Amino acid sequence: MGAAGSRLEKALGEQFPEGERYFGLENFGNTCYCNSVLQALYFCVPFRDQLLEYYANNKNTGDVEENMLTCLADLFSQISNQKKKTGVIAPKRFIQRLKKQNEIFRSYMHQDAHEFLNFLLNELVDILEKEHNAAREPLQNLPFQKNSNGTIDGQPNGSHKELAATWVHKCFQGILTNETRCLRCETVTDRDETFFDLSLDIEQNSSLTSCLKNFSSTETLNAEDKFFCDKCCSLQEAQKRMKIKKPPNILVIHLKRFKYIEQLQRYKKLSYRVVFPLELKLLNTVDNSDLEYSLFAVVVHVGSGPNHGHYISLVKSHNHWLFFDDENVEMTDESMVQAFFGSPQEFSGNTDNGYILFYESLAERS
């Protein structure tokens, strides 16, 4: 990437952000699904900062066993500490660990970028929670003295049983609430669930806003789908809808571009045109507050089907848009984002489609 790297440096010139590094990632045989997601995560600055802080705090700890977290932290540290501003890095150790950790990613077959992102974030959380619990264990084994008010010295009120929110949670976790209204007694039942990303059904010639609206649309439960109402003590017709109770700082949206077609007995790619804005207003929240988000990364699937193709990513860094395609990194333009909305025609040669969208809360940035 020597010539490409120097072209990139030349294109940025004096605008090259101080201390920033733009490095391509070597492909180890169909690992573009991994490279494209890693680039999006590297330019998710709150996540990167926390990961580099974790690396700095643990690099001198000799007894830390290798895992997905240590390998990712090591990779991000390698990139951020490069003397050159541009170049290529081989994420060999990370890929080896990924394959060791999960057999799904061991083959040289085309893998799913969204599946990888989900696995990675949940794996990081598991590791951080285990480390948190291990650090607390010596405290829990100390002799405690009970006070007259029922609390115990040296121990928060029962909080040792609760898992602390990790920095991965603080970056990506939101809370959905499932509201179900019984149509007989009008009782509303709320059930909360956490999420790291929202998977949205898509339609032809639609927008991200309309997909989010459909996600929170009211659904009637009747016939075989009736709801058991605790107040009525019986199955009743009901209305159900999903809303965002706590929006995340980093909103990750997965567009469901792969649909199982019963007649074909296989998955088909939907290259539908779905317009996703650079600035997004999140309307489907419980308190109806119009939260604003800014797009900073797009993972793009290139190809006509789920079992073959390629992944690339578009990333915004310091108000510049960059195009990452494994080893290659190029400057691009904001208008390039529109090229990945999808095709307005059912059968079209355009198969380069936005698949995973990364938005940062403007409130978090300020």
> Is 34 annotated as catalytic?
no
**What DSSP assignment string belongs to 167-194?**
HHHHHH-EEEEEEEEETTT--EEEEEEE
The reported pLDDT for the residue numbered 152 is: 40
CA distance 14 to 304: 40
Which one is the CATH code of 2-133+164-365: 3.40.50.150, 3.40.630.10, 3.90.70.10, 3.30.70.260?
3.90.70.10
Q: Which of 169, 254, 301, 310 is catalytic?
A: 310
The residue whose two tokens read 């939260």 is: 291
The single-letter DSSP state of residue 312 is E
CA distance 246 to 190: 14
Q: Hey, what are 72's tokens? A: 């990712």
No. of helices (H) and no. of strands (E), the chain: 9, 20
The single-letter DSSP state of residue 132 is H
Detail the DSSP E strand segments found in the chain.
Answer: 22-25, 86-89, 174-182, 188-195, 198-200, 206-207, 219-221, 227-229, 234-236, 238-246, 250-255, 258-261, 266-269, 274-275, 279-282, 291-302, 310-317, 320-325, 328-332, 352-361
Hey, which residues does 23 pair with through a beta bridge?
87
The reported pLDDT for the residue numbered 319 is: 93
Q: Hey, what are 58's tokens? A: 């643990």
**3-class SS at 115?**
helix
CA distance 16 to 8: 9
Pairing label, strands 238-246, 250-255: unpaired
Inter-CA distances, 302 with 15, 308, 352, 354, Å? 31, 9, 4, 9
Inter-CA distances, 330 with 9, 35, 277, 327, Å? 10, 15, 22, 10
Model pTM?
Answer: 0.90
Query: What residue ranges do the domains of the chain occupy?
Result: 2-133+164-365
The reported pLDDT for the residue numbered 164 is: 61
Pairing label, strands 86-89, 22-25: parallel
The reported pLDDT for the residue numbered 160 is: 37
Per the document, the length of the chain is 366
The residue whose two tokens read 């030349």 is: 10
The reported pLDDT for the residue numbered 95 is: 97
Q: Which of 32, 71, 182, 211 is catalytic?
A: 32
CA distance 140 to 358: 39
> Is 169 annotated as catalytic?
no
Answer left, alpha or beta for residue 312, where phi above 0 means left and psi between -120 and 50 means alpha. Answer: beta
CA distance 94 to 38: 11
Q: Which residues of the chain have pLDDT under 50?
A: 146-162
